Chains A and B, each alone.
Chain A
Amino acid sequence: MTDHDNAYEGLLGGDDSQWAFGTDFEDPLAGVDTTIADGVDPAGLAAYCLMLGDDALVYSHRLSQWASNAPDLEDDIALANIALDLLGQARLLLARAAAADPTVVPVLPEGSPVPAEDALAFFRDEAGFRNVRLVEPEDADFGVTVARLLLFSTYRLALLERLRSSNDTVLAAIATKGVKEVAYHRDYAARWFLTLAQGTDESRRRLLAGLAVVWPLRAELFETHPVEATAAEEAFGVDPAVVADEVDLLLEQVLSVSGVERPDVRPTGPLGRGAGRDGRHTEAMGRMLAEMQVVARAHPQGRW
């Protein structure tokens, strides 16, 4: 069994082209056909992709903060896994937005090698982000995380299930893949929800507190934004109001198995006439972006 030494051989440069050959960056959609269906407005498609992409990007960032901080090793791995799935979805969606309508991509200094997905993630200002506010805040503890992940993943899974029949082949493909992933996220959240609800008095107390923190941001998920209305009309996207009932039914299933009542809290209102989908965010968002974007912005001509 000399096979064990394979790692060594790679390391010792058994194949030296490995060291002379860098992976030149390619767009996550490189090689994918990005033609737009007839009757679809490219700008509308891009705006819609940014919404779904930003939800995934921002939430992935928050979940990634659990790395090396989770309650147990298994959960460290699981949360990183979920963050990674969402990051993958975000990259495809941002790239889809850029391919559909290049004008959504911030303009960088002449000669900058920064690819479109990164220009969107790292060089857009807060008001340019189109994610819902639910995904923005940093969680105080695992109870909040479980509650937030349950709300987010039931919502996203319902959207992606329908998006599988989008007339945009790229969106349909992203959704088909995403469904398998988010179904896992939802099961993970639901199992922990049940476990915390029925574990100890302390875990129940913390879960209920967490649920009360995230519940007010739920209503925003199902409000139809004009971009989403157009997306549904032109058959490339989903009107979130349409999935509200089925998401609610699913939540009810988890709540009742867990013996948990819906929190009696008022929904968080919009800011003036807008909310997350209009670029109006929580205070947490700016701090998050400041951290996320700091290195990229220090090197607008940088190659990573």
Chain B
Amino acid sequence: MTTTRTAPALETAKRVAAQVTDPEMPMLTLADLGVLRDVAVEDDAVTVTITPTYSGCPAMATMRDDLVHRLLDHGFDDVRVRVALTPAWSSDWISERGRQALRDHGLSAPGPAPAAGGPVPLTLRPTRRDLACPRCGSSATAVTSEFGPTACKAMYRCEDCLEPFEHVKEI
């Protein structure tokens, strides 16, 4: 994060921005999701940098809106939201707290993302993941759909307690 002379304002801005939540997964803050990249304050103007989780993310405008209006509520008059496309968002950026929040809400958190760069190998079989049921902890889980209700999730079912649950995918 950028350091500037206006430290107290910066602290406030960081704290406020860090509390804004994802509109579709409100158990996660933008900071925990790794979407919030930077907060800077210069001459009373706040610049917040965010990055989309995927190109078509329809929630970007809403996030931008929420950030602006929370910061305005906290006395900042000049708020700008920048979108950074690089480096591309990775599920590795979800914080430990974010992962815990996912588990607390019955979602399975992503494992390590595949390495970026180079040609992507073709995979003709569904990705094998060793998951634990977020409800009972059983490792007897089966994928029911590689594409979940939102782009970033896959659907699973626990063979033991029968719970259907979502897994946040590794990208």
Contacts and interface: CB of A to CB of B under 8 A. Distances in A.
B54 A88 contact: yes
A161 B116 CA distance: 11
Name the residue in A17, A21, A31 with the highest tally of chain B Cβ atoms < 10 Å from its Cβ.
A31
Interface in A69-88: 73-74, 77-78, 81, 84-88
A233 interface: no
Name the residue in A23, A246, A250 with the highest tally of chain B Cβ atoms < 10 Å from its Cβ.
A23
A194 interface: yes
Given A17-B69, A21-B65, A169 B86 contact: yes
Contact of A77 (B49, B83, B122, B149): B149
B124 A84 contact: no
Interface residues of B, number: 43
Contact of B55 (A26, A92, A164): A92
B4 interface: no
Q: Chain B contact residues: over half helix, strand or loop, or mixed?
A: loop
Interface stretch (A39-47, A174-182, A261-269): A174-182
Interface string B49-79: 1001011111001101100010001000000
A172 B86 contact: yes
Given A77-B145, A85-B151, A157-B120, A23 B85 contact: no
B82 to A, nearest CB: 4
Contact of A32 (B56, B69, B80, B84): B84
A91 B146 CA distance: 26
Nearest to A74: B145
Nearest to B171: A180
A187 B123 contact: yes
A164 B65 CA distance: 30
A108 interface: no
Contacts of A161: 118-120
B45 interface: no
A70 to B, nearest CB: 11
Contacts of B80: 31
Given A31-B82, A187-B122, A187-B123, A177 B64 contact: no
Nearest to A22: B65
Interface string B17-61: 000000000100000000000000000000001001011111001
The 8 A-B residue pairs with the shortest CB-CB distance in the complex, in nearest-first order: A88-B56, A88-B55, A173-B85, A31-B82, A84-B56, A78-B147, A183-B120, A74-B145
Interface of A: 6, 17, 21, 23, 25-26, 29-32, 73-74, 77-78, 81, 84-89, 91-92, 157, 161, 164, 169-170, 172-174, 176-181, 183, 186-188, 190-191, 194, 246, 250, 253-254, 257
Given A87-B56, A254-B122, 9 more contacts: A23-B61, A23-B62, A31-B80, A74-B144, A77-B148, A88-B56, A177-B89, A180-B116, A257-B124
